[in-house]
Structure 1
Amino acid sequence: MFGKSSSSDSIVRAINETQAVIQFALDGTIQTANANFLNLLGYQLHEVVGKHHRMFVEPGEADSERYKKFWESLRQGTPQTAEFKRIGKDGREIWIQASYTPIVERGKVQRIIKFASDVTEQVLAKADIESQLQAIHRAEAVIEFDLEGRILYANDNFLGLMGYRLDEVVGQHHRLFVTKADANSDAYRVFWERLRRGEYQTAEYKRLAKGGKEVWIHATYNPIKSPDGKVLKIVKFASDITNEVTQRAEFRLLSMVANETDNAVVITNPQREVQYVNKGFTLMTGFHMDEVLGGRTRDFLVGPHTDQGTRQRIEAELDAPRAFYDEIQIHRKDNSSIWVSITSNPVTGPGGEHQGFIAILADITRVKTTALEFETRFATISHSNLHVEWDKNGALIEINDYPDRELKVPTQDFKTAIKRWDTYLSAEQRESLIKGESIVRDIVIPVHGRDIGIAATFATIRDPYGELQKVIMYGADITERLAVVQTSDKVMGELITSGENINKMVSSINAIAEQTNLLALNAAIEAARAGEAGRGFSVVADEVRNLASKASDSAREINNVVTENQSLLNSLSQALNKLNKRD
């Protein structure tokens, strides 16, 4: 084929045996081809001789400008060497490593000879590797280091993860991404020594992004070796697992909380069948996990003291399913009952599908019992007393049915008659009430011309921050007591006036007695002057003087009694006034 007379017969023979060889005219027409070429493309010699080279290329390629320039370059004597895709007889794609060599004789290109090797397998393998690398670069953070740890290259994923630009990291050492303590540690030194020895390293690593932000990655540090095993560089493939690490830490914390808390934690599937209970559940209810696994909590916690209304309300929330909070009385394994608060949340999957429930039960027996006692006491107090509530601005909010029951006044009428709370208190009392003190005083509420007396206690209700929310008043009916006090005041006034009149009368009697005594004394003097003739008159004068003295003594005793009575009446009046005017 290629001149057996040539001095290079052995070389030509070797080429023919190892290479696919084909010869073209300058216009691309096939002149001859060896067996290797024909076998590679699947043709017989007579099927290709005289045909154009374009029979081996795709139609789009044959009509392209690039293809035309390819042949123009060959005709001008420029060799063309590359990997080429060619089409075999059966339409299959064949990749060849080929050299198109112009043969020059007497200074002119006479023909074109192509030497080719089948590299289909290598090209496809290379394409597969490149595709995988491209996929890795799209999905992974990739960075390359020299053997000293200096950065050679980083892809966009890595730069985006760490917050740097490429020019900020190229030439920097890997320690840029670790803490000073880690960079100076023996473990870090050994890490790079192993990589230089060709040992790959893979693990989860904590790294520092730009600005000191903590990032967790799952990374593989891969030593890249030459064919003779020499390590050339280190390529790292990494995935951001910060969220996963955070979630694991949260899960560990939640697991620790779930196992250490006295509260009961229950996890169920969508059918409400128990999948997990913690130790707190066992301590609270007496049931172990193996006793409740697969069962429904209502089957072993509901008993005769469980309120059916509450149970139905909880069932409705679970059917929804919705998050809820409620309080219910449940029964333990030993049949004793306890009060628990239930906080339940439905669990949803990534697609929003319902996956079950997580419920937390807290024992509130002591608090609930105390609350029920207070509710009973409050109900008793509210039943036997007037209960009124105002908001912080003075608007009436609520009044109980005490007016209907005890005062025989329609509650609505009584409600209309009630004024703002601050109208019943003095400025000083209002200030004390705002400070949190209770104010006790009697008030009068006129309803349809009737004055209703109330022994009232004013107090405030505040929010957790100490801000005033409501003013409340509890009171009892003292209308009759006030009427009695008013009547007593009137009677005492009249008695005091009567006593004063008696005092005046006693004073008049004393004056008359003193005048009578004086006249008797004068008569005695005149009788003494008259001698024997006036003795009888003197006896009469002595008797008159004795009577006047006795009248004066009696008047003094009456005056003392009246004075003492007035003092007692004044004391009683003051006591009644204090009772009537509680401020």
Structure 2
Amino acid sequence: MFSKRRDAQVQAQNRLADLDGKMAAIGRSQAVIEFDLDGVIVDANPNLLTTMGYTLEEIRGAHHRLFMDPVEAASPDYAAFWRDLNAGRFLAAKFRRLAKGGREVWLQASYNPVFGADGRPAKVVKLAIDITAHEQEAARREALRIEAEQAQTVLVEALAGALGRLSAGDLTARIDAAVQGDHVRVRDDYNAAVESLRQTLGQALGAIAALRGGAGEISSASDDLSRRTEQQAASLEETAAALDQITATVKRSADGARQASTAAAGARTEADRSAEVVRQAVAAMDGIKRSSAQIGDIIGVIDEIAFQTNLLALNAGVEAARAGEAGRGFAVVASEVRALAQRSAEAAKEIKTLITTSGQEVAQGVRLVNETGAALAAIAVKVAEMDALVSEIAASAQEQATGLGQVNSAVNQMDQVTQQNAAMVEQTTAAALSLKTETDQLARLVERFETGEVQPRVHDLSASAPIPLARERARIRAFAGGGAATAASQDWEAF
């Protein structure tokens, strides 16, 4: 039993220590003050004392209305405020309070009733943060905003009146109201804009007459230019048609030259092939000549063999005669061998004679084939020269066809551009007529503005001094009138 009581005491002490720690943490960051239920100050931490400028001895025992504006403290709302706290209701808001010396202080605060053991409110603890600087800055900005709105209202009213007069054509409408700050720039910019517009319209009144006269002359010159451009377009169209025919003719010539070049190249190829065949024939004839010589050598050997055989047969016959009856058969054989050797020798002589004759004919054939090869080589050289010349002719014809094609394209493009220029000139003529009409209408519109100066009317300006564009008008008039050729060329370049 004693142990349980001790544990309960320890837990209570721990809770109190924890509560004290939390209150200390709150007190380090916020202003804390305690009241009894009647609003009498019981205690306050250093943060609150520093914020309000009092010491604890100066405020302890004093009532909460010490920090209040007297008028607010006497109001029914203040009495209701303490009744709600006594009823245990929590209150949090921004509050305006008075520090020592009547200095204004703004607090973001909460009034927290603290309940006793019987569950009824026993005291009130106030937690607060000083937001005076923020609130005063907000109040300053609000005052500046109100002041700016008032100044803007003055400017808007003055600007509305001036714009009303301006919309009615009065260019002397100015803003003379007294304004401040950035509104001075708005007033000055408006007055400067109106003044610039007044001067511009004044100059426009003087320039519209010149514009009207120039528009009339431009219209006349544009009409004449349109006729001349149409004639030029027709001439270019005829030139383009003629160039088309020339281009087609040159193209056909180029095609024929290409075909001739192809035929010459074929002839050169055939000549080269014939020369090659002749070279092969010469080589074959040389082979035959060498073979004939070799056969002649072989026939010589055969003739030599026949001679030796004949000699041996003669010797054998002599020996057979010496042998008498015993050598008779051998003598017959020797006689036959001798006869065969003689026939072989005679045949070899005949073959040698034929081979010699064949060799001479082969040599003559080789000479003739060599002469044919030389002639074909000369023909091949001439054909190569012809091929080169025809190739150059074909290349030149192709270049001419290409060049004429480019010229034809350029002329066709010039024809299209000239046609377009003709259409544009017609549009320019129509635009010039429209410009003259619009200039008259512009003159009537501008005359309704009041610039505060005496301006001659537009219809009276036609008899005034020469306009600044007189020289350019004279050039256009000389071109449109078709003067001398040189003058017309100079005027056209200048135009």
Give me the TM-score of the superposition, normalised by structure 2.
0.31
Q: Greater helix percent: which structure?
A: 2
Q: Greater strand percent: which structure?
A: 1
- Higher normalized contact order (CA 8 Å, seq sep 6+, divided by chain length): 2
Larger radius of gyration: 2
